[in-house]
């Protein structure tokens, strides 16, 4: 299929569902956190807002220690990335390294705010006439409001939209597929705030210049479908459809969802926009709606606090910077047998070593697990090449081969076997009978590949620099040689001229001598 044919086929997205390779059917465990409506917890004593919220550069702080700040005021700036805003009004107590919610477990630069409890907003700039606004101004507004993908990857929304805007996007896909067990924040959001999601979808669609919007939800989210289709915004909107897809992990992955909706695969080295598609999380759409109608920057999100290690699991609308411990307290604390604290789901989540880590843009779920939920770490056995990992891999890779290649540092084969296409979903880890931490190996391998690429780029740069220098030196040398030659020529010319002068003088002298001689002889004609 040519790429234009693929784009044509992608326009039929959602008409019927397709399969993706591999994946797992897991127990959902979502109900326990969906029983109560979402509440806003009371303000914590301190809000710790990390200046690094997503992959990329750390934002630069715009405030100083002791500054009085207002809710929604921008406190961090980072040109290509999304802005960081203050979640509440109060004073900046410190700007220092603190534990932040990050897979690395490393501390990072955070703005520590002591809220004054008045929740006084800064002056907000809504774009209430968004229907008349140009796409570029909408995109800029999204960047100023600090919008980023709330599905987990926190990719800056304005960057994705700009890409989609430049690529003739025909369909916007809103991702409401929350395939990891336990997590229910998107489900609750869709149930409670369907109007905002659909309004956000319309703004995003207009920004992209797309025709259609598909809201993809899981087939078991009955209440969600009803909430979305019953909403008044939905009734007023054309070309927005809700599509149910079967619940198979990791269907919430962008590439997997696109495959399920269209039957097409996003090119390995490409992006969804190659097919004329853009994916955004439903929570991002809701944040877009708030940013446009109220001018509200992104300072809070729905967070699920759940697991058997929590007394009363539920969902919160939590300000960024709220410590995890504060939310757990609001849930009635931990159960006695709590053993592990995880940010995210059980498949891709990363563990926290302390619950004073803050809620950030990426935190969709705080999962507290008991000893019974997790097995004691089992000894890692050698790979028996059973191939179960390849059978469940949604990227259609051969994890056991990749593992061997990384272990033996065979980087070129690892690249041809598609290491960089791994989406780190953890399906292979889950089914591996030898309990090899495959995804850890793949992360390490990807890092090494990246390092090698950077190194080879640097080497290439150095080579070029060297060659340029050589060329420059050569040209200088040649120039000098030429100059020398010229000078020699000139010198030679001078010499010859002098010779000639001397010769003519000589000649003249000779002549003179001859004449005087003749004179001496007494030539008759001279007198």
Partner 1 sequence: MTRSFQTSGAPHMPQRTTVAKVMLQVLLALTPGLLAYTWFFGPGILVQVILSTVFALLFEFLMLRARGKPLKPFINDYSAVVTAVLFALCIPPLAPWWISCIAMLFAIVFAKHLYGGLGQNVFNPAMVAYVVVLISFPQAITNWLPPLALAQHSFGLADTLVTIFTGQVPFAGGWDAVTQATPLDTLKTGVDAGRMVPEIRNSPLFGDFGGKGWEWIANWFALGGFYLLYKRVISWQVPVAVIGSVLLLSLPFWLVDPDSNPFPLQHVFSGAIVLAAFFIATDPVSGCVSDRGRLIFGAGVGIITLVIRRWGGYPDGVAFAVLLMNMAAPLIDRYTRPRMYGE
* Token couple for 353: 């070593």
Helix/strand/coil for 310: strand
> What whole-number distance in Å separates Cα of residue 469 and Cα of residue 97?
43
Residue closer to partner 1 by CB (options 157, 401) is 401
Q: Of 72 and 346, which CB lies nearer to partner 1 in the complex structure? A: 346
> What is the distance between the alpha carbons of residues 367 and 348, in angstroms, rounded to a whole number?
12
Q: Which residue number, 134 or 269, has a Cβ lying nearer to partner 1? A: 269
Contact flag: residue 152 with partner 1 (CB under 8 A): no
Instruction: Give the pair of three-digit tokens for residue 385.
Output: 């090449």
Stretch that binds partner 1, among 76-84, 219-227, 371-379, 487-495 (CB under 8 A): 371-379
Dig out the tokens for 264 from the structure: 């097409």
Within 260-299, which residues bind partner 1 (CB under 8 A)? 265-270
Among 57, 440, 509, 514, binds partner 1 (CB under 8 A): 440
Give the range of 58-66, 79-87, 238-246, 436-444 binding partner 1 by CB under 8 A: 436-444
Among 202, 299, 429, 442, binds partner 1 (CB under 8 A): 429
Query: Mind spelling out the 3-state secondary structure of 79-107?
Result: CCCCCEECCCCEEEEEEEEEECCCCCCCE
Rule CB under 8 A: say whether 342 interacts with partner 1.
yes
* 227 lies in the binding site for partner 1 (CB under 8 A): no
Task: Pull the structure tokens for residue 86.
Answer: 């203050």
Collapsing DSSP to helix, strand or coil, 445 comes out as: helix
Cα 453 vs. chain centroid, distance in angstroms? Answer: 19
Rule CB under 8 A: say whether 352 interacts with partner 1: yes
Binding flag, residue 31, partner 1 (CB under 8 A) = no
User: Interface residues for partner 1 in 165-194 (CB under 8 A)?
Assistant: 181
Q: How far apart are CA 66 and CA 48, in angstroms?
A: 15
Residue 344 CB, nearest distance to partner 1 (Å)?
A: 8
Nearest to 90, CA basis, from 73, 107, 103: 73
Q: Does 379 bind partner 1 (CB under 8 A)?
A: yes
Size of the site for partner 1 (CB under 8 A): 69
Residue 90 or 394: the one with the smaller Cβ distance to partner 1 is 394
- Cα torsion at 328, 330, 331, 334 (round to 10°)? 40
Q: Show contacts with partner 1 in window 76-115 (CB under 8 A).
A: 105
Burial level of 205, CB count in 10 A (0-12/13-18/19+)? buried
Within 10 angstroms of residue 127's Cβ, the number of other Cβ atoms is 20
Q: Helices 157-166 and 194-208 sit at what angle, rounded to 10 degrees?
A: 40
**According to the binding rule CB under 8 A, does residue 350 interact with partner 1?**
yes
Closest distance of CB 242 from partner 1, Å: 26
Of 91, 356, 448, 449, the one binding partner 1 (CB under 8 A) is 356
Is 395 a binder of partner 1 (CB under 8 A)? yes
Residues whose CB falls within 8 Å of the CB of residue 44, separated by 6 or more in sequence, listed in order: 115, 321, 322, 323, 326
- Could you tell me which stretch among 233-241, 413-421, 448-456, 508-516 binds partner 1 (CB under 8 A)? 413-421
Please tell me whether residue 153 binds partner 1 under the rule CB under 8 A: no
Residue ranges in contact with partner 1 by CB under 8 A:
21, 105, 181, 255, 259, 265-270, 325, 334, 338-342, 346-356, 367, 369, 373-375, 377-379, 381-388, 390-391, 394-398, 400-401, 416-418, 421, 426, 429-435, 437, 439-440
């Amino acid at each position: 299929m040519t790429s234009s044919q693929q784009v044509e086929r992608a326009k039929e997205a959602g008409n019927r569902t397709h399969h993706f390779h591999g994946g797992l059917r897991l127990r959902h465990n979502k109900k326990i956190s969906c029983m109560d409506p979402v509440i806003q917890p009371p303000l914590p004593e301190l809000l710790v807002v990390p200046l690094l919220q997503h992959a990329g550069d750390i934002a630069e702080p715009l405030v100083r220690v002791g500054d009085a700040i207002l809710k929604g005021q921008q406190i961090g700036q980072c040109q290509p990335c999304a802005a960081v805003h203050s979640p509440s009004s109060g004073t900046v107590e410190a700007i220092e390294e603190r534990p932040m919610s990050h897979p690395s477990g490393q501390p990072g630069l955070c703005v520590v705010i002591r809220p004054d409890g008045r929740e006084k907003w800064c002056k907000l700039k809504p774009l209430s006439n968004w229907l008349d606004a140009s796409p570029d101004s909408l995109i800029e507004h999204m960047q100023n409001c600090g919008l980023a993908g709330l599905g987990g990857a926190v990719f800056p929304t304005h960057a994705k939209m700009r890409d989609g805007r430049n690529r003739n996007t025909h369909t916007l896909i809103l991702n409401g597929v929350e395939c990891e067990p336990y997590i229910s924040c998107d489900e609750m959001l869709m149930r409670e705030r369907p109007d905002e999601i659909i309004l956000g979808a319309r703004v995003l669609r207009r920004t992209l210049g797309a025709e259609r919007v598909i809201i993809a939800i899981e087939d078991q989210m009955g209440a969600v479908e009803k909430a979305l289709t019953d909403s008044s915004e939905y009734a007023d909107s054309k070309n927005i459809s809700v599509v149910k897809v079967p619940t198979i992990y990791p269907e919430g992955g962008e590439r997997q969802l696109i495959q399920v909706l269209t039957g097409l695969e996003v090119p390995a080295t490409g992006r969804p926009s190659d097919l004329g598609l853009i994916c955004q999380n439903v929570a991002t759409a809701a944040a877009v709606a708030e940013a446009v109608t109220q001018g509200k920057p992104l300072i809070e999100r729905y967070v699920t606090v759940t697991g058997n290690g929590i007394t009363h699991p539920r969902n919160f609308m939590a300000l960024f910077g709220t410590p995890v411990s504060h939310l757990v307290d609001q849930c009635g604390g931990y159960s006695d047998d709590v053993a592990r604290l995880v940010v995210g789901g059980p498949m891709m989540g990363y563990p926290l070593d302390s619950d004073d880590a803050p809620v950030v843009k990426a935190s969709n779920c705080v999962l507290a697990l008991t000893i019974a939920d997790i097995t004691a770490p089992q000894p890692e056995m050698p790979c028996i090449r059973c191939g179960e990992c390849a059978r469940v891999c949604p990227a259609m890779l051969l994890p056991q081969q990749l593992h061997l290649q990384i272990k033996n540092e065979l980087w070129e084969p690892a690249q041809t076997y598609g290491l960089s296409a791994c989406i780190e979903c953890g399906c292979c880890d889950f089914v591996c009978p030898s309990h090899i931490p495959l995804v850890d190996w793949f992360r390490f391998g990807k890092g090494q590949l990246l390092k090698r690429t950077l190194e080879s780029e640097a080497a290439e740069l150095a080579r070029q620099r060297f060659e340029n220098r050589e060329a420059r030196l050569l040209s200088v040398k040649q120039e000098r040689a030429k100059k020398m030659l010229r000078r020699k020529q000139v010198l030679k010319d001078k010499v010859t001229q002098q010779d000639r002068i001397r010769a003519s003088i000589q000649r003249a002298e000779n002549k003179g001598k001859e004449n005087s001689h003749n004179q001496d002889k007494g030539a008759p004609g001279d007198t």
